[in-house]
Structure 1
Amino acid sequence: MTAFALATVLGLLFAAGTYLLLRRDLLRVVWGVTILSQAANVYLVTMGGIVEPSAEGVPVLASHGGHVPQTTDPLVQALVLTAIVISFAMTAFALVLTYRVYQEHHTLDLTTLGGEP
């Protein structure tokens, strides 16, 4: 995948997340935050480096004295995997809170929930 395609996908994800975040419906706000967090994860993986597989084989099995092929940083992937799990838990919690707000107030409109100033 080219850098332009990755930048386009990232831009679309951040734009969609921001658009949903600015809506009046509480459920759309929750999904906007979720999309923004996933866009941040894609950004981190992209900045961690995406390397095309080489013909030299797997780096672990490469010869000890020879040239070791370039690989993607595994630390970034581990951090993003952790962020995905935390994001899933926070999304589930936010959806439960949204459902509870709907049970109590019979609406998800943020202007109605905010009350009058």
Structure 2
Amino acid sequence: MEALLALVIGVLGGAGVWLVLRPRTFQVIMGLTLLSYAVNLFIFSMGSIFIDKPPIVRPGAPADLQHYTDPMPQSLVLTAIVIGFATTALFLVVLLASRGLSGTDHVDGTREEP
């Protein structure tokens, strides 16, 4: 399971970086979205993930027997999802305004020759 999760994070990160380096703004938005998904999965995987375990510490149990899911990475990922959605919406509005003013959607502002 860990190898599959690492592979998914790597593929999402690689595809995100490749799309961020593309010349069109929509591809840059998709790349930033994929990068945020990769980072969210990474943060989520850093919290000890146990299935059907409560996010609390049992009183009186030794530290090595404490199998609980850490709620902090889950709250960080939830916050990052909300902030990423708001940032993407703002970026789309700026993209539409820039395209309306300049007539192109290239990130460097130059037009493509047909």
TM-score (norm 1): 0.80
Q: Percent identity?
A: 38
Name the counterpart of 2:48. Answer: 49
Task: Provide, for residues 43-89 of structure 1, a one-character-per-residue CA deviation record: whole Å limited to 9, x for no partner.
Answer: 000011211336xxx576x7x66787612100111111111111110
TM-score (norm 2): 0.82
The offset of 1:107, in angstroms, is 1.0
Greater RCO (CA < 8 Å, at least 6 residues apart): 1
Flag structure 2 segments of 5+ consecutive residues without an equivalent.
Answer: none
Equivalent positions of 1:74-113 (< 5 A) are 74-111=71-108, 113=109
Aligned length: 108
Q: Do 1:59 and 1:69's aligned partners in 2 also have CA atoms closer than 8 Å? A: no
Structure 1 segments, 4+ long, off by >4 Å, are: 64-69
Backbone CA RMSD of aligned residues: 2.2
Equivalent positions of 1:6-45 (< 5 A) are 6-45=5-44
Question: Partner of 1:108: helix, strand, or coil?
Answer: coil
Change (3 A) 1:11 1:42: same
